[in-house]
Amino acid sequence: MPRLTAPLVLLVLLNVACSDGDLCAQAPRCDDSEAINCETACAVGPCSTGPTVQDCGKDTTCTVVPGPRNDARFYRSRAVCTFDLKACSPADAGPPVCEGERLVRGCSAYLRDIRVPCSQAGLYFAQVPACCLGGGDAGTPDGGSPDAGTGDGGIPDGGALGGDAGR
């Protein structure tokens, strides 16, 4: 019986270690009211690399939407916090706007009226509002442009927790 105990303990430990799992391997997905995404590299800013978890809040619903397959920038599926499950047209809706707490709202390239943190705006909108691009609170430690010379075009460490409603 003692020989069987060690493999069982190892199996239990492996199962526990994998249950939380790698968020990047699980993304995109909705976990109750949280939108979970992962970005391994950024071609445009602002964008943070690594896993992000956004609490959608009471006025939006998390849903996974496919990206347009013929779009080189927005082709990936994303978990988004949407105000309405119906499709919208970015050309007809106008540019996205800044909300409080470093959030952006608008009709995204994913054809949904969504809310995202400034640190991820470049992943969802063709045009990013000025509030996310510069000034002392632009999402970078020095307040500079989020894509000013970092290797991935975004914020290298994903920013501070809670600073822009993403983590």
pLDDT at 104: 95
Helices (H) and strands (E) in the chain, counts: 3, 8
Handedness of CA 116, 120, 124, 129 (dihedral sign): positive
pLDDT of residue 64: 96
- Could you give the CA distance from residue 128 to residue 46 in angstroms, rounded to a whole number? 8
Cβ contacts of residue 43 below 8 Å, gap of 6+? 73, 153
Q: What is the pLDDT of residue 92?
A: 94
pLDDT given for residue 12 in this prediction = 38
Tokens describing residue 111: 């054809």
pLDDT at 45 (0 to 100): 78
Q: What is the pLDDT along the chain (167 residues), one digit of tens a residue?
A: 445 444 433 333 334 334 457 889 999 999 989 999 998 888 887 888 899 999 998 899 999 999 988 998 899 999 999 999 999 999 999 999 999 888 999 999 999 999 999 989 999 999 999 989 864 343 333 333 333 333 333 433 343 333 444 44
SS3 annotation, 55-72: ECCCCCEEEEECCCCCCC
Closest CA to 49 of 131, 150, 133, 163: 150
Burial bucket for residue 140 (CB in 10 Å: 0-12, 13-18, 19+):
buried
Measure Cα distances from 74 to 6, 58, 127 in Å.
Answer: 48, 26, 13
Half-sphere exposure of 13 (CA within 13 A, CB side): 6
